[in-house]
Amino acid sequence: MPILGLGMFSLSDSEAENSTYWALKHGFRLIDTARIYGNEEAVGRGIKRAIDEGYVTRGEIFITTKMWTSDYSDGAAAIDASLSRLGLDYIDLMILHHSQPSNDVDAYKAMEQAVRDGKLRSIGLSNYYEPEDFDRVVNATTIKPALLQNETHPYHQSGLMKEHIAQYGTVLESWFPLGGRGNTQTLFNDETISSIASAHEKSSAQVILRWHLQAGQIAIPGSSNEQHIIEDYDIWDFELSDEEMRSMSALEKDERFSWY
């Protein structure tokens, strides 16, 4: 799985189609969407455009989507519906979008069956913020979650869950890696982050994304701006020093920007 991708949260159909296309055109290979975002069909169109124009092949890209809580009672139908909307024969990763103890285990088992049927390549969880809640699903199922996708950024570094899930071979994926819409400037203007950015002649966004990757988590920033998408991918030509990584770690406030 690529360690840097583009997220589709809150994007309109036209934005999601174009952003998917631009991302694949400019180097991204991981696209993250969800049923509740309402743009799976648009993402599918963006994928088809990029493939038809020769920028990528299906085997080179990694598509993630998520099952919404209201679909947990019939997970098999939800999986088939996402496949149809995306226009794909298989989905690289499907995630349960949120903890829902009443029936999330049943939904997870439906995903396990879809793995056996070849419809899904891997499965995971999102928005499980307590070790006990995560273990509840793991202990009731067979396939360990490939990843846990939670809100993670310099002010909320998810250290507890990251350490806990490592025992299962589960990796952390960061949504709102730059703080999320409406909060990015809070992080971009942080004195520590902006100082590191100046030292490397990079943007604050690039420094934050580089921190995510060097800290060992997957990051999926979102954007509907082609130039920002290009900028977000341009982080492979520099590294943060050990001292800079320690400075970033010291920004931990256990402060979430979303209620979700």
The tens digit of pLDDT for each residue in 65-95 reads: 999 999 999 999 999 999 999 999 999 999 9
pLDDT in tens, 95-148: 999 999 999 999 999 999 999 999 999 999 999 999 999 999 999 999 999 999
- Strands 218-219 and 171-175 come out as parallel
Nearest to 162, CA basis, from 177, 143, 178, 149: 149
CA–CA distances in Å: residue 130 to residues 177, 182, 248: 20, 26, 24
E strands, 26-170, where? 30-32, 62-67, 91-96, 120-126, 147-151
Nearest to 43, CA basis, from 101, 84, 4, 73: 84
Instruction: Give the C-alpha separation, 131 to 163, whole Å.
Output: 10
pLDDT in tens, 24-49: 999 999 999 999 999 999 999 999 99
Domains in the chain, please, with CATH? 6-182+217-238 (3.20.20.100)
Nearest to 216, CA basis, from 163, 257, 176, 260: 163
What SS3 state is found at 93?
Answer: strand
pLDDT in tens, 206-220: 999 999 999 999 999
Confidence of residue 260 (pLDDT cuts 50, 70, 90): confident
Instruction: Give the C-alpha separation, 103 to 121, whole Å.
Output: 22
Report which residue type is found at 123: I
Q: What residues are annotated to the active site?
A: 37
Residue 167 is predicted with a pLDDT of: 98
Residue 259 is predicted with a pLDDT of: 81
Residue 78 is predicted with a pLDDT of: 98
pLDDT in tens, 176-229: 999 998 899 999 999 999 999 999 999 999 999 999 999 999 999 999 999 999
Q: Residues 220, 5: contact at Cβ < 8 Å?
A: yes
What SS3 state is found at 69?
Answer: helix
Q: Which residues, including other chains, have CB under 8 Å from residue 116's CB and lie 6 or more apart?
A: none
pLDDT in tens, 8-28: 999 999 999 999 999 999 999
